[in-house]
Amino acid sequence: MGTKVMIFMLGTLTVLLILLGVYGRTMDTKMLIFTPIISVASGIFLLALYRSVANKLQGIWQQWRDTYTWSRDDLNTKALIRAFVIEVVFQRKLYRDDRLRWARHIFIYWGFVGLWIFDGIFFFFTKILNLQPRHPFHLFLDFGLDLYGGVLLLGLSVALIRAYFVRGSKGSIYNDTPAVSLLFVVTATGFFLEALRLVSVPYEPYMSWSFLGLALASALGSLNWPWASVYEVTWIFHAVIASVSIAYIPLSRMVHIFAVPLGRLLESQQEMLAVKIQSIGRGLMGK
């Protein structure tokens, strides 16, 4: 219990301090609302991830150390790397089982991974190093964020359409509609926000790098709405729903995005599984 509280507190505090450090002096109403919410959501995320993945693996490892003789030399590094590339990066098991399932998994997984990487770099360069919007690297980041966001949105759309068609059938055992819907809303509102940002200012060629946001902005531009005020409300909605989804991921079946790759890596160590079976003999036949 103490460890869990500590993880929650540390996670919350870390995010809070980062955001206060970056935005502290220029904090507007939006950030005042967003900062505590995302900090608590991150704390819940870390705590739930610890409880459902790290803690379980720790228990398995503890049992291993107590029961079997195993040293670091027994680790099959080659098989581990091979499993990482084939099973984690390219998800071969899914490919062999069902191509459509594989495609939507690849889109969602790589959409997510790409988005998180680009978001992290974007945050660092624009908020900490104050990279200017017209800088070529900024434009590259704009492109990457739109690309991976689009890939993610495509994967989530396929998942939702499939979930609709297989409802009530045996295929529905793969559905996690609440979590997918939540992520779909987060991603869609992210694009909507980007479009609102672009439609509120006169067009400039550099905006073309945000190709999906700009396409949506062109569609919105034909409507004569007060987009600037819509932007504020959408921003808060997006921030809150994104925070909720961050906290919800490790609490739902979506935790598989962390647990399954780890399981695939464990599976690569088949020699370790064989050790367990052979150890049964110790109890039955003596030393």
Partner 1 sequence: MEQVGFYFNEKKCTKCHACEIACKLWNNFDLGPRVRRVVKVSQGKYPAIRQINISLSCMHCGDAPCVKACPVNALSKAVVDGRVMVDTASCIGCSFCTWACPFNAPQIGTDGKMVKCHFCPDRPLGMPRPCEEVCPTGALLSGTMRELDEMARQRSAKRLISEAEPAFYVEV
Rounded distance between C-alpha atoms, residue 154 and residue 161, angstroms: 11
Least distance in Å: CB of 78 to partner 1?
20
Cβ proximity to partner 1: between 94 and 214 the closer is 94
d(CA 113, CA 144): 12
Distance CA 139, CA 208 (A): 9
CB of 168 to partner 1, least distance (A): 12
**Rg, the chain, Cα only:** 23
**For residues 238 and 149, what is the distance between their CA atoms, to the nearest angstrom?**
14
Min dist CB 75 to partner 1, Å, is: 14
Q: Give least dist CB 137 to partner 1, A.
A: 38
Q: Indicate the residue among 25 and 96 with the shorter CB distance to partner 1.
A: 96
Are 48 and 250 within 8 A, CB to CB? yes
Please say which residue, 61 or 124, places its beta carbon nearer to partner 1.
61
Cα separation values, 211 from 4, 40, 276, Å: 43, 33, 54
Q: Which is nearer to partner 1, 63 or 229 (CB)?
A: 63
Work out the number of other CB atoms within 10 angstroms of the CB of residue 22. Answer: 16
Token duo for residue 284: 């039955």
Give 89 or 131: the residue with its C-beta nearer to partner 1.
89
In the complex, what is the shortest distance from the CB of residue 71 to partner 1, in angstroms, rounded to a whole number?
18
Listed residue (186, 210, 185) closest to 198, CA to CA:
210
Q: Which is nearer to partner 1, 231 or 248 (CB)?
A: 248
CB of 101 to partner 1, least distance (A): 8
Q: For binding to partner 1 (CB under 8 A), which residues are involved? A: 52-53, 56-57, 59-60, 63, 67, 93-94, 96-97, 172-174, 253, 255-256, 259-260, 262-264, 266-267, 273, 276-287
Residue whose structure tokens are 């900090």: 39
